[in-house]
Amino acid sequence: MTAPSTAGVARAVERRQLTTWTLHLVSADSDVPQALAPVLRAGLETTVPGSVLGTLIAAGLASDVTVDGREEDVAWASGCSWAYRATVPKTGDGARVRVVLEGVDTLGVVRVDGRDVAQTDDMFHRWVVDLGVDDAPGAWSVEVQVDPVLPAIRAAQRAHPLPRAEMYEIPYNQVRKMACSFGWDWGPTTATAGLWRAAQVERAHSAGLARVLLAPTWDGGAVLRGTVVVEGDARAASVRVAAAGGGRTLVEVEVPVEASARELDLPVPGAERWDVAGRGSQPLYDVEIVLLAADGSGVDRVTRRVGFRRVELVQEPDAGGRSFELRVNGARVWARGFNWVPPDVLPERVTRERARLLVGEAAAAGANLLRVWGGGVVESDDFFDVCDELGVLVWQDFGFACAAYAEDDDQAARVRREVEDAVVRVGHRPSLALWCGNNENLWGWRDWGWQDVLGPDGAWGARLYYDVIPGVLSSLDPARPYVPGSPFSPDTHAHPNDPTQGLTHHWDTWNRLDYTAFDDKSSRFASEFGWQAPASWPTLVRAIGHEPRSGDDPDLRRLQKHPDGRAALARAVADHVPHLPTDGRGWYLATQLVQARALRAAVGRFRSLHDLCSGALWWQLDDCWPAQSWAVLDVAGRRKLAWYAAAEVMAPRAVIPTAAADTWGLTLVNDLPQDWEVAGTLRVLDEAGGALHEQRIDSVVPADDHLVVAPAGVPRGGSLRGAAVVVVDVDAVRGARWIRPDLELTHLRASLSVVEVSRGPDRVQVTVAARSLVRDLVLLAELAPQLSDARVDGQLRLLLPGERTTFTIHGSAADAVADADLVGLLAAGGELDVTWEPG
One-character DSSP codes across 176-188: BS-GGGEEETTEE
3-state secondary structure 195-231: CCCCEEEEEECCCEEEEEEEEEEECCCEEEEEEEEEE
DSSP string, 411-474: HHHHHHHHHHHHHHHHTT-TTEEEEE--BSHHHHHHHSSHHHHH-TT--SSHHIIIIIHHHHHH
- Residue pair 667/608 in contact (Cβ under 8 Å)? The answer is yes
Confidence of residue 720 (pLDDT cuts 50, 70, 90): confident
Stated as kind and residue range, the H or E segment containing 798 is: strand 797-799
Four-residue CA torsion sign, 605, 607, 612, 617: positive
Report the C-alpha gap between 99 and 206 in whole angstroms: 17
pLDDT over threshold 90, residue 1: no
Task: For residue 430, give every residue at least 6 positions away whose Cβ sits within 8 Å of its Cβ, in sequence order, or none.
Answer: 216, 274, 282, 284, 306, 307, 308, 309, 388
pLDDT over threshold 80, residue 2: no
- Which CATH superfamily, name and number, covers 750-836? Immunoglobulins (2.60.40.10)
- Residue pair 676/700 in contact (Cβ under 8 Å)? The answer is yes
Phi/psi of residue 753, each to 5°?
Answer: -125, 145
Confidence of residue 661 (pLDDT cuts 50, 70, 90): confident
278 torsion bin: left (phi>0), alpha (psi -120 to 50), beta (else): left
- What secondary structure letter does DSSP report for 105? B
As a dihedral over the C-alpha atoms of residue 374, residue 376, residue 378, residue 383, rounded to 10 degrees, the angle is: -120
Predicted confidence (pLDDT) per residue in 810-819, tens digit: 998 888 888 8
Q: So what's the pLDDT on residue 838?
A: 79
Q: So what's the pLDDT on residue 721?
A: 84
4-10+203-306: CATH topology: Immunoglobulin-like (2.60.40)
Q: Which of 231-235, 279-283, 341-345, 586-590 has the lowest mean pLDDT?
A: 231-235
Report the C-alpha gap between 215 and 621 in whole angstroms: 29
Q: So what's the pLDDT on residue 11?
A: 59
Nearest 5°: CA angle at 86, between 84 and 91? 160
Q: What is the mean pLDDT of residues 680-704?
A: 96
Q: So what's the pLDDT on residue 815?
A: 83
Q: So what's the pLDDT on residue 3?
A: 39
Q: So what's the pLDDT on residue 485?
A: 98
Would you tell me how many other CB atoms lie within 10 Å of the CB of residue 118?
17
- Residue pair 504/497 in contact (Cβ under 8 Å)? The answer is yes
3-state secondary structure 318-369: ECCEECCEEEECCEEECEEEEEECCCCCCHHHCCHHHHHHHHHHHHHCCCCE
- Residue pair 78/190 in contact (Cβ under 8 Å)? The answer is yes
Q: What is the mean pLDDT of residues 6-24?
A: 80
Q: What is the mean pLDDT of residues 214-219?
A: 97
Task: For residue 298, give every residue at least 6 positions away whose Cβ sits within 8 Å of its Cβ, in sequence order, or none.
Answer: 6, 8, 9, 10, 12, 240, 290, 291, 292
Q: What is the mean pLDDT of residues 404-430?
A: 98
Class of CATH domain 666-744: mainly beta
- Residue pair 91/139 in contact (Cβ under 8 Å)? The answer is no
Q: What are the respective helix, strand and coil percentages of the chain, to the nearest 5? A: 25, 35, 40
Q: So what's the pLDDT on residue 234?
A: 55
Q: So what's the pLDDT on residue 91?
A: 93
Q: So what's the pLDDT on residue 662?
A: 72
- Residues of the chain within CATH 2.60.40.10 domain(s) are 4-10+203-306, 750-836
Q: So what's the pLDDT on residue 313?
A: 98
Confidence of residue 114 (pLDDT cuts 50, 70, 90): very high
- Residue type for position 318: D
CA atoms within 13 A on the CB side of 826: 29
- Residue type for position 238: S
Phi/psi of residue 381, each to 5°?
Answer: -60, -35
Report the C-alpha gap between 332 and 320 in whole angstroms: 17
Predicted confidence (pLDDT) per residue in 741-765, tens digit: 999 998 788 999 999 999 988 999 9
Residue count (the chain)? 839
Q: So what's the pLDDT on residue 801?
A: 97
pLDDT over threshold 60, residue 10: no
Predicted confidence (pLDDT) per residue in 70-111, tens digit: 999 999 999 999 999 999 999 999 999 999 999 999 999 999
- Residues of the chain within CATH 3.20.20.80 domain(s) are 311-533+589-625+632-652
pLDDT over threshold 70, residue 7: no
Stated as kind and residue range, the H or E segment containing 692 is: strand 691-701
Predicted confidence (pLDDT) per residue in 751-803, tens digit: 999 999 999 889 999 999 999 999 999 999 999 999 999 999 999 999 999 99
Report the C-alpha gap between 559 and 557 in whole angstroms: 5
Q: So what's the pLDDT on residue 714?
A: 76
DSSP string, 70-91: -GGGGGGGGGEEEEEEEEEEEE
pTM of the model: 0.97
- Residue pair 531/515 in contact (Cβ under 8 Å)? The answer is yes
**Percent of the chain, pLDDT > 90?**
90
User: For strand 526-529 and strand 504-506, is the pairing parallel, antiparallel, or unpaired?
Assistant: parallel
Stated as kind and residue range, the H or E segment containing 764 is: strand 763-770
Predicted confidence (pLDDT) per residue in 467-511, tens digit: 999 999 999 999 999 999 999 999 999 999 999 999 999 999 999
DSSP string, 643-667: HHHHHHHSSSEEEES--SSSBS-EE
- What secondary structure letter does DSSP report for 750? E
Report the C-alpha gap between 333 and 327 in whole angstroms: 6
Helix (H, G, I), strand (E, B) or coil at 821: helix
- Residues of the chain within CATH 2.60.120.260 domain(s) are 20-197
- Residue pair 239/287 in contact (Cβ under 8 Å)? The answer is no
Nearest to 176 by CA among 136, 133, 119: 119
Phi/psi of residue 620, each to 5°?
Answer: -145, 170
Predicted confidence (pLDDT) per residue in 124-146, tens digit: 999 999 999 999 999 999 999 99
Computed over its alpha carbons, how large is the radius of gyration of the chain? 28
Task: For residue 384, give every residue at least 6 positions away whose Cβ sits within 8 Å of its Cβ, in sequence order, or none.
Answer: 394, 426, 429, 431, 432
Report the C-alpha gap between 620 and 637 in whole angstroms: 13
Report the C-alpha gap between 355 and 65 in whole angstroms: 20
Round the average pLDDT of the chain to a whole number and report it.
Answer: 95
**Percent of the chain, pLDDT > 70?**
98
Longest dimension (CA), the chain: 94
Confidence of residue 716 (pLDDT cuts 50, 70, 90): low
Pick the CATH number of 20-197 from 1.20.210.10, 2.40.10.10, 3.10.180.10, 2.60.120.260: 2.60.120.260
Q: So what's the pLDDT on residue 235?
A: 61
Pick the CATH number of 311-533+589-625+632-652 from 3.40.50.300, 3.10.20.340, 3.20.20.80, 3.40.640.10: 3.20.20.80
Higher pLDDT, 717 or 528: 528
Stated as kind and residue range, the H or E segment containing 592 is: helix 584-608
